[in-house]
Amino acid sequence: MSAVIVEKSEARKIKSNGFISKFGALIGLIILCTVLTILSDNFLTVDNVMNIARQSSINALLAIGMLLPILTAGIDLSVGSILALSIMMMGIVSVNHGLNPYLGIVVCLGVGALLGWTNGIMLTKLKLPHPFISTLGTMNIARGIALIITGAAPIAGFAAPIQFAGNQFVGPVPFSFILVIVVYILFDIFLNRTSTGRYIYAIGGNKETARLSGINVNKILVIVYTLSGLMAGLAGLVMVGRVNSAFPLAGMGYELDAIAAVIIGGASFFGGVGTVWGTLIGATIIAVLRNGLNLLNVSADFQMAIIGLVIVAAVYVDVLRQRSFKK
């Protein structure tokens, strides 16, 4: 038989019932916000909340893309590099060659999706044993190309339409935040109300059962990695808007933050478990934490240590909550 039994941790088993468990990390987030509001006068201000909304947007977009591979029991290590190559290509097209900015946006998203698609193809057609390998490869290759094509130089001076997503405000609300919400709603619909979405959960739950139920597993996996790449491109677009420049080291190490957001949000590495809104909460926790530590003037070394502690604590709160919930 080609199936193998893998146990899932206690915590996972309990998950999955009802509303509360869907918003596992929410309690952690609320505690965190309460503490920061007490510690800093500047935390709970409109300005600062909007700051957080903007700052979380890039990671939130990467994380929602990352949720899909993780739901299928995979991973995508290449999102940071895909982001970089996407924006460098956009820079070349729309700044260096001065072509239409909308074409630039298409290139940015297109390159992201294309690289993601390549990840999917490597996994399913080359049959590499785990997406860790294919996406680790892409991570290096895409970053290398991003460096090569511009000689490691940054590109600045993007046209307004390109900057829009990352730079515009609608009233006091940053457009990037609205974009994140729209994207999350779309993903929620996609994952819960379409057959492809269900297939993603099914593959993560049990690939063999999924295949025997007539699901074209390879096709779905390619879609999954393509979407993850597309989201990396979109995150890149937002980033370019924010800083009005594209640089080849952009997004370095972002995959870890994205994965952390997904896992803090309650998804499981073993696949099949995880929600869109949990992921958003995970991304928000990370952004709030960073912002709060900056406001409190915590130095970088202490920030590191504290971030580590809070990541563990946030998840632990969730574990405790579920345990009491179970009783």
Ligand X SMILES: Nc1ncnc2c1ncn2[C@@H]1O[C@H](COP(=O)(O)OP(=O)(O)OP(=O)(O)O)[C@@H](O)[C@H]1O
Position of tokens 């729309």?
94
Q: Is 269 in the site for its own copies (CB under 8 A)?
A: yes
Residues between 184 and 223 that touch its own copies (CB under 8 A): 205-211
Is 300 buried (19+), middle (13-18) or exposed (0-12) by CB count in 10 A? exposed
Q: Is 311 in the site for its own copies (CB under 8 A)?
A: yes
d(CA 5, CA 318): 26
When CB distances are held under 5 to 8 angstroms depending on the partner's kind, the choice from ligand X, its own copies, other proteins, none that residue 195 binds is: other proteins
Q: Mask of contacts with ligand X, 1-40, x by CB under 6 A?
A: xx--------------------------------------
Closest by CA position to 49, among listed 260, 292, 278? 292
| Among 260, 280, 285, 288, interactor with its own copies by CB under 8 A | 260
Judged by beta carbon, residue 241 or residue 292, the one nearer its own copies is: 292
| Among 138, 167, 226, 228, interactor with other proteins by CB under 8 A | 167
- Residues binding its own copies: what is the number (CB under 8 A)? 71
Binding span for its own copies by CB under 8 A among 128-136, 169-177, 192-200, 227-235: 128-136
3-state DSSP assignment of residue 258: helix
Position of tokens 């309990």?
14
Q: Closest separation between CB of residue 321 and other proteins, Å?
A: 15
- Tell me the DSSP string of 287-324: HHHHHHHHHTT--HHHHHHHHHHHHHHHHHHHHHHHHH
Q: Is 210 in the site for other proteins (CB under 8 A)?
A: yes
d(CA 272, CA 79): 21
Q: Is 44 in the site for other proteins (CB under 8 A)?
A: no
Sign of CA dihedral 66, 70, 72, 75: positive
Looking at the chain, how many residues does it have?
A: 327
Query: DSSP character for 130?
Result: -
Judged by beta carbon, residue 149 or residue 181, the one nearer its own copies is: 149
- Measured at the CA of 244, the angle between CA 303 and CA 174, to 5 degrees, comes to 70
Q: Closest separation between CB of residue 262 and ligand X, Å?
A: 26
314 is written with which tokens? 């946030």
Q: Mask of contacts with other proteins, 212-251, x by CB under 8 A?
A: xxxxx----------------------x--xxxx-xxxx-
Q: Closest separation between CB of residue 75 and its own copies, Å?
A: 8
**Interacting residues toward ligand X by CB under 6 A:** 1-2
